[in-house]
Structure formats: C-alpha cells, structure tokens
Chain A
Amino acid sequence: MDPPRFSGYSPRTVRVLPQPPGIPDHRSANRFLLWLARSEWRPLAWAGGVDSAYRLCGVLMSAAVGATLDSGVVEGDPRSLLLWFGVLTGLTLLSTALVPVGVRAMAFNWYSSAYRTVQVVIARSVALGPTLTRRLPSGEVVAVGTDDIDRVGDFYEDSALVPASVVTIGAVSVLMLSSHVTFGLIVLVAVPVMVVGMVPLLRPFSRRQEHHRTRQAELTTRATDLVSGLRVLRGVGGERTVGDRYREESQRVRAAGVRVGWMDAALQAVRELYPGLLLVGIVWYGARLALAGDITVGQLVAFYGYTGNLAVAIRYLMHASSLFISARVAADHVVRVLSLEHDHPDPEHPADPPAAPCDLRDPASGVVVAAGRTTGVVCSDAAGATALAERLGRYREDEGDGADTLLVETATGREVRLRDLPLRDVRRRVLVASNSAHLFSGRLREELSPDEGLSDDRLAAVVRAAYADDVVRQSPAGFDALLTERGREYSGGQQQRLRLARAFGLDPEILVLVEPASAVDAHSEAAIGARLAAERKGRTTALITTSPLLLDHTDHVLFVDGGRVVAEGSHRDLLASAPGYADTVLRTVSTSGKP
C-alpha cells in the first residue's frame, strides 16, 4: 500500500522504515551520532528547511505587527488596519500550512534514527553471539534497545531546530540591521555571547545526566533480572529482599534525577533570563531612540517582537544542546555494545577450507569424531563433557599450542585448525546442539527450518527422527502452531525433542549432540537412539552422552576419563573390557544405597 501523501511533503523522503542500517561508526559516541546524521542527511535537511520556513513566518509576523501598529492603529486608518489584519491572517495561514509538514518531517527523523540505532544494536548483538552476554549484562543491552533509542530519536527529531534557529537569528539580524545598524550589531554580538554563556552549565549537566543514566541502567538491569527470575521468586521466595533492593536502587535513581533536575532548572532559568536581558537592552535603547524620534513606536514594537523571535531561537538552541548531551550519553552506551569484539575473531589469513568428509579431532582429549559415522563419547564427569563439546565447536580455546581442535580431511590427511577458519564456516559445518539452546518465539515451522526452509515432508521426517511427532500433534495448527517465549508451553522433554528436530533440520556436516535425550522417558530415549542413527546415517555425528540406550546405536564409542580417551570400541565391547566404562553408563541400581 502507498503511504499517504501530505501536501508539500517531498516524496523522496517518504520511505518505508526500517531501511538497511548500514555499517555504523562506533569509534566514539560523537562519531556514531555523526554517522547517523550522515545516513539521514536528506530527511534531516528537509526537516531543517521546513522548520526554518516556519520560523521565518514568525519573524515576518513580528514585522507586520509593528507595521500594523504604526499605520493601522496610531494613524487611525480603519482601511489600513483591515489590510494589516489581512496580512497577519495570511501569514498565520502560511504558518498553519507548514505545521503538518514540519511535524511529519521531524517525526520521521525520530523514527529513522531510533530504528536505525536499534537495528545496528540488534545486528551487533546477533554477530557477537555468546560473547555478548559474557561481556555485558543482558539488561544493559536491552536498555540500549529501549531507553537509549528514545534519547537518540529525541535529539534527531528536534535537530531541525538548530538550522531553524540560525535562520531566525540571521533574518532578525538582517531586519534589524536594515532598520537600525546599531540594533543589528547588538543582536549579532549578544546572541553568540548568550549561547557561550550557557556553556559552563552544560558540563555539570552532562556529568549529572551521565550519572543518572548509569543509575537508570542499573535499575533497568535490576528490573529485567527480577522479571526473568520471577518464577523462581514466586516459587521459592525472596520477593521482599529483591523488592527492597529494587527500592534502594529506585531511590538512588530518584536522588540522581533530583540532581539533574537542579541543572535542568538552572538551564531553564538561564533560557528565560538571557533573552530577557537582551530584550530589556533593546527596549531601553529603542525607547531612548524613539524618544529622540529616531525610530517609530511601531518599529520599537517590531523590535520587541524580534527579540521574542530571538528568544525562541536561543531557547531552541539551548534545548537542542541539552538533547544533544542526552543523546551523546545514550550513544555512549550504544557504542559500548557496537565496539565489542567477538571472543573468537576470524583469522587474518584463513586456511583453505578442508574438503568434506572430514574427521573432527580434539588433541587435548584424544577424541576423534570419525567422518561418516556416529561416535559415542562417554565422559566420566559432566564438566568434562561440557568442556569437550565447547572445544569441538570452538566455543572455547585452550591455551597452549597443539591443543587446538582440528578438521582432518579423510582423503588427504591434511589437518586444519578450527581457529584458522572463519567462524561462520566452522558454525556452518559443525553444529553443537546442547540443552541450553534457546527456543525462539514464532511459528513452529519457522523454528524447525533452516533459513532456506524445509518441505513439509522433510519437516515431518526430522520431527519423526527426533521422536517429536506428538509435540507437533499437540496443537491443531500443526507446524503452524505458535511457539511463545522460549517454547514455555511445552514440557522440558518436548522442548528437548524440538531442539533435536531443529538440529536435524539444519543437517550439518558434523553434528555434536550433548545428552539429547536426558529429559525424556526410557521408551522415548530408546526410540530417539534408533531414529538418530538412521537419520544421521552416512553423516558425521558425535553423541556425548552416558545413556546406554543411545550408545547402543552408535558405530564406535570413546571413553574419556580424567580428560583423556582411555578406551574405545563398540558399546558392547567396552562394557566387557573397560571396567570404568560400565560404571559410568550402566544403570545398575544397588539396593544397598536405598535411603
């Protein structure tokens, strides 16, 4: 559908948002804001132009008021009075017509800058993967996506006021110069002096605002944390403690807010006082001139009007600078997310990607995941299993040379370290599917399919392979059922099978599964074991588990004890030959231990 058109709104700036955000400059808050301005220069310029035109109307009205007084009122000519009334009404109508154009243009700048900011933050978060939450509390990032975009948007929305104010000041100077040189000079000197006179206040304002923002972010983080852990709190208790802690933090934010408030108030007082002083100066001098007959009463009134226009312009300049400071504080937090680097950077000189099929080898433990087979890996302790999975998928790098996980071309025997390949390639080829994987809200079909999508037949096949048919059948909508946040409407076992189906759907060259059937009953466990082997037939799979039901369906089993492979063979051979192995996997239940 076409967006609605409003009179005077340049079609070039009517765009559907969001637009592709581009690559942000994250070297500093200022550079980020500059980058935003460069990306949006056209709508920004348009808004500035429209607002300038609107403000010019205001200046012309002041001139018209003076003229009305001189020719219409003082000279007592009713026709002239009506004429000037007409001029005033005409200018009024012109301003009126400019209003919706300006409002739209300025609002557009809010949307485009705020959306672009949230887009780059999301893009960066996505690119950082596991690094993100390791480096920053999640509440901090969420606060950027909610609070900080508002501040950035607010500044760009009102940034049109800056050129408009400059134009106003210019126009007033010209008008005053043309009617009286001294007046024009007073304006030209006084305005910069006033703006500079505000600068000493801006520094403490900025400092206090930064303090307030920090406290505010901490409060948001606390609220997010509280909400995420709400089921624990409501289930086990601790509401009072957490509530008290929130209240303390909230009171700190209040105190910081009051401190900013004093600066706000001071700035506002100055915004009233400085232009007021200029006004007195002009009126006093003007009155002396008028008394001497150098200018008319109407001119004096017009000057008064001009100083009103000037006052507005100066106020807006000051307002824009306060907004700029808030935006810079916010941009600082945005930049903090944007400038994070991934813990596993891509190599500068990536190695030639090894050709499939490949073995996956972990020298640290001696584990080899053989190409085309399903390899069971039994670790005697859970922490060892987690560490092994992380090494196999390059989620952690062990210190020291020669301990890096390798891909080994089976055809040539060439070894390539995972760290010498771009991370994206590693992720594409090796998928580590663990139970902490996140289920996203959305349609089930979309959640189970890789980007290119799956046919319904294939979708049904992967669901069957994960023994998750009943999960899909649970909703009448089938694959179109909606998954809420984290798939919470499904039980732990159902979520686990959905995760498994999702991994099958992606069909990676090498799949590392960590305890894929730990939350299901024994029947399902056995079924998953059998179907998994069939689904991954001819593909490379590592199955890190202690479940005998799964291990029974593997081609080969490695037993890792004390961080090293100590025995290998088939599941049944190992049961017979390796004593520690049987203790780890067999579910013998000694009745002596019964409490």
Chain B
Amino acid sequence: MTRTTEHVLPRTDDPELPMPAETAALPVAPVSMVWTRLRRAGRDHGGRLLAVVALYGMAALAALVAPWVLGMVIDAVRGGADPGRIDLLAVVIVVGLLFHAGFTLVSVAQSIRFGEGVLAELREEFVRAVLRLPLGTVERAGTGDLVARSGRDIGHLSHTVRHSVPVMAVSTVTVAVIVTAIGLLHPALLLAWAPTLLIIWVSTRWYARRAPDGYIRELATYSDLTQSVTDTVEGAHTLEALGRQLRQTARADAKIRRAYRAERYTLWLRCVWYPPLEFAYLFATACTFLVAGYLHANGMLTVGQIATAVFLSVQMTRPVEQLVDQVDSLMMGFTSLRRLLGVRLAEERPGVSEADADHVPGTVEVRGARFGYTDTEVLHGVDLVLRPGERLAVVGPSGAGKSTLGKLIAGVHAPTSGSVRVGGVDMAGLSPELRRERAILLSQESHVFRGTVAENLALALDAAEVDRDRLWEALAAVDADAWVRSLPDGLDTRVGSGDLTLDPAHVQQLALARVVLADPEVLVLDEATSLMDPGSARHLERSLAGVLSGRTVVAIAHRLHTAHDADRIAVVEDGRVSELGSHDELLARGGSYADLWRAWHGAV
C-alpha cells in the first residue's frame, strides 16, 4: 500500500514551473481559528439552526410511517385481516408521505436560506479582510491566489453550506430517529449495527487523517491554475503579439497536469476509504436478519416486526451513507474556510497612535533607513529631511532603489532598520486611514475599476455622495476634463474590464485625479506621468503644482524637467542618496546629476 502511495503522491519536482507554494504568499488559518469562527456562527444563528433541525426532525419522523406501517401490513396479511384495514393502513402511509414531503420542502428551503445567509456573511467577511491587507502584502502576493480564494474557495464553501450542512442535519436527525425506532422494536437489534459502526469509525479516521493535507495541496494547484487563466486573459494581447499562443496553452496544460496529480492522491484516499464503508452499510442489513431471526425463533419478534426492522435498517443505510459522504465535502469546505480565514491573519493590525500633539503636517524625516525585499538589501541607510510644502525630485539610475525609497516614505513597507517619520510620526504605527492622510504613493501601475468614471474618482473620497464639481475640479487639475467631457456619457461613462478601455495616459490622469481628491499632506509620485508625452506631462505637472501648492511632493522621475522644476533634487545611486541640493547647486557641483543633466539633453 505504501508503494502505491509513492506512485500517486503529487510530484513536486516539476521542472517547468514554480511550485504553487512559492506563489501563494498568503497564510492559511489554523484549525482552531475555524472552530472559533464556527462557534460564533452557532451563537449568532443558533436559534435559526435549531428551528431547521427541528423541521428536519419532523420530516424524518414522517418518513418512518411507511416502514412502520408496512410491518403492520405484513402482520395483518399473515393474520388474514380485513382488506379494509389494509386500505386504512395504505391511507396512513400516504398521509405520512405527504407530511414527509411537506416538511422536506420547508426544511430544505429553510436550511438553504440559513446557509446562504452564513455564506454571504463569510464571503463578505473575507472581502473585508482582503480590503484590510497591508499594501506591502498586496504588492508581494499574486492576485491569482486571492482570486482563487474569492472564487473557488467560496464556491466550495457554498457547496458545503448549501448542500452538505442540510444533508448532515437531515441525516443526523434521521439516524437518531431510526435508531430510537429500532430500539423500540427490540434493543438487541441495535447490536446488528455494531460491526458497521466499528468499520465506519476505523476507515473514516484513516481517511480524515490524510485527506486535509491532500486537499490543501489540491486547492493550491487550482490557485495556480486560476493564476494561469488570469495571466492568459490579462496578457492575451501580449501573447498574440509575441506569437506565444502555443506556449501558453502548454503551460496551462502543465498546471492542469499538476492539479490532476493532486486530485489523484485524494482520489486514491477515497478509493481506499469507500469500500469498507459500502461493506459496512450492506452488512448491517444481513446482520439485522441474523439477529431478528434469532429473536423471532425465541418468540420475541413477529414476522411483521422483522420486516419493519429490516426496512428500518435499509432506510438507515441512506442517511448514514450521506452522513459519511459529507465528511469529504465538509473537509473541503473546512479547508476552504481555512484559506478564506487565513487572509485575516495577514490583515493589518492598525497601530495605536492617533494623531499626536506634535504633528507637523507635511514634514518627512528618513533616518538611516535600510530595507530589502529579500535577503539582498536595496537601501543601505538613507537620510532625508523634507520641510512642509517642499518639492523634491528623486533621480538616479534604474534599479537604484528610488521606488523603494518612495514606498518607505508612503509607509507601504517599514524599514528594516532606521525610521521613517511623516508629519513627525512613525508611519509604521499608523492605521492605513491616518497613513493615507499623511502620505500617498502613486505608482506607474494603476487600475480602472468596473464602474463609471465618477465612481472611479470618488473612491478617493470613500463616500457614497460626491459633489460633482469637486470631481471636475480634480479632473481639470490633471488636464483630463477635456477628454472626460468628450466621452459618450461624460462622468457617467462606464469604464473598466469589459467596458470602455482607456488610453494608458488617460488612466494615469485618472489616478492622479484620485490623489488630488484624496489630498494628502505628502504625495509620492513614482513615474506618475511617464506614459504621457513629455509636453503634456510637463503641462500637467505644472497645473498639478498649482493645485498641490503647500503639499509636500516627492517626485520620482526620469524626465529631468521635473527635477529642474523641483525645490531640491536627491540623486539615489546604489541604495544611497549620493547628492542632494537644488538644480543649480548640483549643476555647479559637476557630479552625477550634472552628468545626468547633460546626458538627458543629448549630444546636440
């Protein structure tokens, strides 16, 4: 058996692709967290749950009428009773059936209503947690994992909640009712179920110990597959341009292959687990005959009662089978819940510090800041002090750490040593809302949300009702009012995935307009106008400067007119600030900046 396991265990040495673990940077919640959450659900919705279980109990009781009365029918037949009695008994069964169907209708519907409520609660909680992820984590984790969690895992959970929980409820209640009924016929009959229970217990324990890990791995491979689908959809344009269609499908196939391998392992577990279960269910009926036959021989049961016992035993097979079947779905749901709740582990714990007394709006103090994304350090001790309202341009070679410095100032990452204080407060200790009031980073990469232009802008204000004039003012500040006016529905034009696609330069303008609306004390612009042509970019920067006057601005740029227009310039080279001063000072110094300035103009 062990040898077979080695055969089907998903191989992790696929040379073609990184393992899912490398791309799934988000944690999975510990088991205890899931139980805590479920206990809370029980507390919050206990009454509702009890009502649902009670309804199921009624349905299960009604279902017993048929086998019970049938035993009476058989005894009546054997006793040569009046046909009228049989007609009466048949009517009783019909009434029982109708009750059963009625209760089933109400109880299933109610349990789905209950389940849908819990499910909506869980997915909304998940999204709330996602919306509280620290920016640093978001930057590092791929979207595929989050998309998979918000799609597939919620789907699994949905199946568990919509299907498994009701089935579990109905089966548990039914089993309890049937056991009572069998016990009432004769307690010894319950002995027939002893071997069955033993087999179920042993085999299910074997399975339950192995399956969760298998499912965690399996779901990770699907996260990876989702990433592949997302990559394909979002990069479809590039795939066509580069003629990489076949390669992409081959890569997707490789991910499917890995998902299949992970599936094979859990399938193998099920194949070992199911046969003993099957045997156990059916064996119970055979054993019931044995016990009932013995009791009958000793005059303790009538033939009709034997029949009832056998029918009950057969009837119990289904709920027990369904109960055990749900173990699988429950484990899947449980695993999905662990992945969903796991996001909460990465959630931002907002700092304690409220706006403190010695808050000086707009100051930036970077002291001895060191930082690296991995073991390799990117910034090797940066010192920088900005006064309120100052405009600093950051220039330097590509990859020198300019963007990283920008991220530290905006509080996206905390320095590994040294400190970054904005407005006199350590950014690391602030809640995101307070941090955003202090500093906002605007990078080259932006996103247009599905919705109207107005909705996209209003995000920055985070309010339902927004004054349109403010939106137009912000658009005017970034030179975007003209083209927005020319859109089919102006501010109400629907944009984003599946609707109107905006020109990259326009996307940058919208992003800038958002920041103008947010109006932070310190603004870090990382190549925020790089996709516009130089003339428009410079025009925009100047009109922006008018709107932002009084705000501290850190502009990371390769276009040196930005540097020229700034109050001071910081040259970042190899993770350090190598030169700091005004344009004229640095030119006079004849160092890196002067070199760069000459080079930028070209040899004319």
Any B CB within 8 A of the CB of A254: yes
* Contact of B274 with A103 in the complex, beta carbons under 8 Å: yes
- Tell me whether chain B's interface is mostly helix, strand or loop, or mixed: helix
Q: Which of A268, A386, A474, A482 has the most CB of B within 10 A?
A: A268
B347 CB to nearest chain A CB (Å): 12
Top 9 A-B pairs, shortest CB-CB distance: A137-B498, A238-B459, A261-B112, A129-B240, A493-B398, A438-B235, A265-B108, A522-B600, A229-B447
Query: What residues of chain B lie closer than 8 Å to A73, measured between beta carbons?
Result: 289, 292-293, 296, 303, 306
Q: Is the CB of A297 within 8 A of B504?
A: no
A residues near B70, Cβ cutoff 8 Å: 283, 304
**A369 touches B (CB below 8 Å):** no
A577 at interface, CB cutoff 8 A: no
Query: Known: A85-B286, A137-B498. Is A236-B252 also a contact (CB below 8 A)?
Result: no
Chain A CB within 8 A of B98 CB: yes
Q: Is the pair B533, A381 in contact by a Cβ cutoff of 8 Å?
A: yes
Contact flag A491-B398 (CB < 8 Å), given A4-B7, A526-B599:
yes
Of the candidate stretches B41-49, B118-126, B176-184, B207-215, the one touching chain A is B118-126
The segment out of B27-35, B138-146, B361-369, B420-428 that lies at the interface is B138-146
Q: Does B488 contact A (CB under 8 A)?
A: no
In the bound complex, residues from chain A placing their C-beta under 8 Å from that of B345 are: none
**Given A261-B112, A265-B108, does the pair A126, B248 have CB atoms closer than 8 Å?**
yes
What are 13 A-B contacts with C-beta separation under 8 Å?
A61-B282, A91-B282, A97-B275, A137-B498, A150-B152, A235-B410, A235-B440, A257-B112, A265-B107, A265-B108, A386-B503, A492-B445, A548-B604
Report Cα–Cα, A115/B433, bound state, in Å. 44
Contact of B264 among A3, A147, A595 (CB under 8 A): A3
Contact between B7 and A521, CB atoms less than 8 A apart:
no
A347 to B113 Cα, complex, angstroms: 54
Is B381 interfacial (CB-CB < 8 Å)? no
| Chain B residue at minimal CB-CB distance from A80 | B293
Report which of A269, A287, A424, A572 forms a contact with B104, defined as CB distance below 8 A. Answer: A269
Asked if B190 is at the interface (CB within 8 A of a chain A CB), the reply is no
Interface string of B506-527 (1 = CB under 8 A from A): 0000010011001000000011
Interface residue B464 (Cβ < 8 Å from any Cβ of A): yes
Contacts of A228 in B (CB 8 A): 143, 447
Question: Restricting to B491-510, which residues have a CB under 8 Å from any CB of A?
Answer: 496-499, 501, 503-505
Q: B245 contacts the other chain (Cβ, under 8 Å)? A: yes
Q: Quick one: closest B residue to A289, CB to CB?
A: B77
Q: Judge whether A287 and B101 touch: CB under 8 Å.
A: no
Whether B90 sits at the interface, judged by CB under 8 Å, is yes
B241-258 vs A: 1/0 string, CB under 8 Å? Answer: 111111111011100110
What is the CA–CA distance of A356 and B229 in the complex, to the nearest angstrom?
37
B601 to chain A, nearest CB (A): 5
Whether the pair B233, A138 counts as a contact (CB closer than 8 A) is: yes
Cα separation A290 to B314 with both chains bound (whole Å): 22
Does the CB pair A552–B399 fall under 8 Å? no
Interface contact B256-A471, CB-CB below 8 Å: no
Q: Which of B351-359, B470-478, B557-565 contacts A (4 or more CB under 8 A)?
A: B557-565
| Given contact pairs A65-B289, A69-B307, A450-B242, a sample of 11 additional A-B residue pairs in the complex whose CB atoms are under 8 Å apart | A2-B7, A3-B7, A95-B279, A118-B252, A119-B253, A122-B232, A243-B128, A262-B109, A441-B23, A492-B443, A546-B534
Contact indicator B536/A523 (Cβ below 8 Å): no
Chain B residue numbers with a CB within 8 Å of A34 are: none
Are A122's CB and B242's CB within 8 A? Answer: no
Interface residues of B in 266-325 (CB under 8 A from A): 267-268, 270-272, 274-276, 278-279, 282-283, 285-286, 289-290, 292-293, 296-297, 303, 306-307, 310-311, 314
Q: Which of A89, A122, A226, A382 contacts B249 (CB 8 A)?
A: A122
Is B73 in contact with A287, judged by CB distance below 8 angstroms? yes
Q: B280 to chain A: closest CB distance in Å?
A: 9
Question: With a CB–CB cut-off of 8 A, which chain A residues contact B581?
Answer: none
Chain A neighbourhood of B385, CB < 8 A: none
| Contact mask for chain A residues 74-117; partner B; CB cutoff 8 A; 1 contact, 0 none | 10101001001100110111011101100110010001000100
Residues of B within 8 A of A193 (CB): none
Within 8 A of B (CB), among A483-527: 484-485, 488-494, 497, 502, 506, 518-526
Query: Which A residues lie within 8 Å of B135 (CB)?
Result: 231, 234-235
Q: Known: A235-B441, A236-B459, A257-B116. Contact between A484 and B155, CB under 8 A?
A: no
Q: Which of A24-32, A164-172, A426-434, A532-540 contacts B (4 or more CB under 8 A)?
A: A426-434
Q: Which A residues, 565 to 595, have Cβ-Cβ distances below 8 Å to chain B?
A: 572, 575, 583-584, 586-587, 589, 593-595
Bound-state Cα–Cα, A76 to B306, Å: 13
Q: How far is the CB of B489 from chain A (nearest CB, A)?
A: 18
Contacting A273 at CB < 8 Å: which of B11, B98, B296, B515?
A: B98
Q: Is residue B327 contacting chain A, with contact meaning CB distance below 8 A?
A: no
How far does the Cβ of A462 sit from chain B's closest Cβ, in whole Å? Answer: 14
CB A22 to nearest CB in B, in angstroms, measures 13
The reply on A301 being an interface residue by CB < 8 A is yes
Q: Which residue of B lies closest to A594 (CB)?
A: B565
B-chain residues with CB within 8 Å of residue A276 when the two chains form the complex: 66, 93, 97, 100-101
Residues of B within 8 A of A287 (CB): 73-74, 76-77, 86, 89-90
Cα distance, A382 to B227, chains bound together (Å): 33
Decide if B293 touches A81 in the complex (CB within 8 Å): yes
In the complex, the answer to whether B151 meets A595 with C-beta atoms within 8 Å is no
Chain A residues 286-306 with CB under 8 Å of chain B are: 287-288, 290-291, 297, 300-301, 304-305
Q: Would you call A100 and B236 a contact (CB within 8 A)?
A: no
Complex contact A103–B242 (CB within 8 A): no
Chain A residues whose C-beta falls within 8 Å of the C-beta of B229 in the assembled complex: 118, 121-122, 125, 141-142, 145-146
Report the minimum CB–CB distance from B588 to chain A (whole Å): 15
Which label, helix, strand, loop or mixed, suits the secondary structure of the A interface? Answer: helix
Q: How far is the CA of A246 from the CA of B600 in the complex (A)?
A: 47
With contacts A300-B74, A525-B558 taken as known, whether A548 is within 8 angstroms of B602 at the C-beta atoms is: yes
Q: Which residue of A lies closest to B373 (CB)?
A: A489
How far apart are the CA atoms of A143 and B310 in the complex, in Å?
48
Contact of B188 with A by CB under 8 A: no
Q: In this assembly, does A199 line the interface, its C-beta being within 8 Å of a C-beta of chain B?
A: no
| List of A residues within 8 angstroms of B143 by Cβ | 224, 227-228, 230, 485
Known A122-B249, A261-B113, A291-B80: A129·B596 in contact at CB below 8 Å: no
Report which of A6, A254, A518, A521 forms a contact with B117, defined as CB distance below 8 A: A254
| Bound Cα distance A229, B445 (Å) | 10
B186 lies within 8 A of chain A by Cβ? no
Chain B residues with Cβ under 8 A from A385's Cβ? 533
B-chain residues with CB within 8 Å of residue A284 when the two chains form the complex:
86-87, 90
Most B CB contacts (10 A, CB to CB) among A254, A305, A437 go to A254
CB pair B101–A270 under 8 Å, yes or no, is yes
Is A179 engaged at the interface, CB distance under 8 Å to the other chain? no
User: Which of A103, A129, A297 has a CB less than 8 Å from the CB of B271?
Assistant: A103
Contacts of B140 in A (CB 8 A): 484, 488
Does A413 belong to the interface (CB within 8 Å)? no
Taken together as a complex, chains A and B put the C-alpha atoms of A191 and B546 apart, in Å, by 81
- B 197-241 contacts with A by CB, 8 A: 222, 225-241
Contact call A238/B97, Cβ cutoff below 8 A: no
Contact of A523 among B106, B117, B397 (CB under 8 A): B397
The answer to whether A100 touches B271, judged by C-beta atoms less than 8 angstroms apart, is yes
User: In the bound complex, how far is the Cα of B310 from the Cα of A84, in angstroms?
Assistant: 14
- Check A17–B558 contact: CB distance below 8 A: no
Instruction: Contact check, B558 vs A522: say whether CB atoms are below 8 A apart.
Output: yes
**Which residue in chain B gives the minimum CB-CB distance to A273?**
B101
Residues of B within 8 A of A246 (CB): 124, 127
Q: Is the CB of A595 within 8 A of B131?
A: no
Known: A482-B22, A595-B545. A103 touches B155 (CB 8 A): no
Residue from A1, A383, A584 in contact with B505 in the complex, judged by beta carbons closer than 8 Å = A383
CB nearest neighbor in A for B315: A308
Contacts of A270 in B (CB 8 A): 101
Alpha-carbon distance between A275 and B232 when the two chains are bound, in angstroms: 49
Any B CB within 8 A of the CB of A220 = yes
User: Is B591 on the interface with A (CB-CB < 8 A)?
Assistant: no
